Amino acid sequence: MSRNVLERVLWQLSVERAAKERFREEPRKFLGRFALSPEEVDMVVDFDVAALQRLGVSPMLTMGFWQELSPSRDMRLYKERLGATDNEYAGFSAALKG
Amino acid sequence: MGKIVGGFWMPHDPVMFVAPEAPPQAQRDKVWGAYQDCARRLAELEPTSVIVVGCDHYILFGTHCLPRYLIGTGDVDGPIDRLPGLNREVVINHEALANHIVAHGEAQGIDWSVARSFTVDHAFSIPHQLVVRPAEQLMGRRLPSIPVYLACGVDPFISFERAADLGRQIRAAVEAFDADERVAIIGSGGISHWVGTAETGRVNEDFDREVLDIGERGDLAALCAYRNEEILERGGNGAMEIRNFACAMAAVPNARGETIAYEAVPAWVTGLGFLQLHPEESVA
């Protein structure tokens, strides 16, 4: 089941320093170790957190992955990627920027 | 014979440490003050040890091993997650009592997963460092503290019924302990919060006050009647942590609750509720 593999990958990328370094250096080579489809590899490399959550991946992992490894680490952008369209929770997002 | 002398519900919100100045000053003061109040109340119970019921947030346990419930019986330290203002430190455990709970549970059909060494996360460390350690200062002695972790953050979730079973078994084990032990139990979590979803930052005060009202009435059956779908809709994925409340409530004999403080704090992504669980005989 894809969710299990994706959660394994994201958990390692959230907690294991060596995995983070390998992902930063060569993400697709790192992900080649796992039984992921090409589409799933793209989701991870592209930080497509919405697609990952649609496959059932835990939001705790997508958030941790984003905060650890995404280029901006901006929680406002994270929520935009998840489809949040209002500014109701802007205070929270601003507080956690970066 | 040991005794459960009381309990608490309290939050373990890491955003308080990451963005301490995000909410209005009055809210900050009320929340930090609630922790101080809990520390004073804990010291007044004159406990000899504490059990903190927390949950993993997909940090400690990965897909390779997801225990429904676990107790730390040996070396304990933490938190594993670095938060400004929280020290990573060794925690003094009560190994004899923790191992007694495990052995007692086996005879009762409760097969605890055991961590002989355990690095806790913020679910344990925030109550421990903001309440237990200050209570130690007030009492002038250490309070050995046992970590219990229930599966509230990552599925498969522990059922409410099982969480309550564990609370009752902890109480029975304490009462069978061959020492004059006075145990306080802390249910760490909630109340409403959405973690890592598009709704992160939403707080549902109606749900939070409903949960606190259940706590005040000591209505364990009502707490255990929540279904996952309702919690996810009304309280968010973070509110699954109210299972920790059920465990703590079930451990306190005939518990009745007293709300200490409540603040809905969107800037800290959570409805923050503090409640003391009094054993029935201590209620005026």
Does the structure show a pLDDT above 50 at B4? yes
Indicate the pTM of the whole model: 0.96
Q: To the nearest 10°, the Cα dihedral for A58, B120, A93, B130?
A: 150
Of all residues in chain B, what percent carry a pLDDT higher than 90? 96
pLDDT tens digit sequence for B99-130: 999 999 999 999 999 999 999 999 999 999 99
Q: Is residue A42 part of a domain?
A: yes
A residues 45-64 closer than 8 Å to B (CB): 53, 58-64
Closest Cβ opposite residue B58 in set A61, A84, A89: A61
The ipTM of this complex is 0.92
Asked whether residue A76 is domain-assigned, the answer is: no
Write the pLDDT tens digit of every residue in B45-90: 999 999 999 999 999 999 999 999 999 999 999 999 989 999 999 9
DSSP string, chain B: --EEEEEEEE---THHHHSTTSS-HHHHHHHHHHHHHHHHHHHHT--SEEEEEE---SSS--TT---SEEEEEEEEEE-SS--TT---EEE---HHHHHHHHHHHHHTT---EEEEEEE--HHHHHHIIIIIHHHHHHHTS---EEEEEES-SSSSPPPHHHHHHHHHHHHHHHHTSSS--EEEEEEE--SS---SSTTTT---HHHHHHHHHHHHHT-HHHHHT--HHHHHHHT-GGGGGHHHHHHHHHHSTT-EEEEEEEEEEGGGTEEEEEEEEE-GGG--
Q: How many domains does chain A have?
A: 1
Which of B58, B192, B265 has the most A C-beta neighbours within 10 Å, making it the best mutation to test the interface with A?
A: B58
- Is residue A94 included in any domain, yes or no? no
Residuewise pLDDT in 10s, chain A (98 residues): 589 999 999 999 999 999 999 999 999 999 999 999 999 999 999 999 999 999 999 999 999 999 999 999 999 999 999 999 766 555 565 555 43
In order of their start, the domains of chain B are 3-282 (3.40.830.10)
Nearest to A93 among B57, B199, B201 (CB): B201
Give tens-digit pLDDT for B130-150: 999 999 999 999 999 999 999
Which residue range forms the structural domain that includes residue A24? 2-70
pLDDT per residue over B14-32, tens digit each? 999 999 999 999 999 999 9
Chain position carrying tokens 């050995």:
B144
- Computed over every residue of chain B, the mean pLDDT equals 97
Chain B residues with a Cβ under 8 Å from any Cβ in chain A: 15, 18-19, 22, 57-59, 62-64, 153-154, 195-202, 237, 266-269
- In angstroms, what separates the C-alpha of A28 from chain B's closest C-alpha? 21
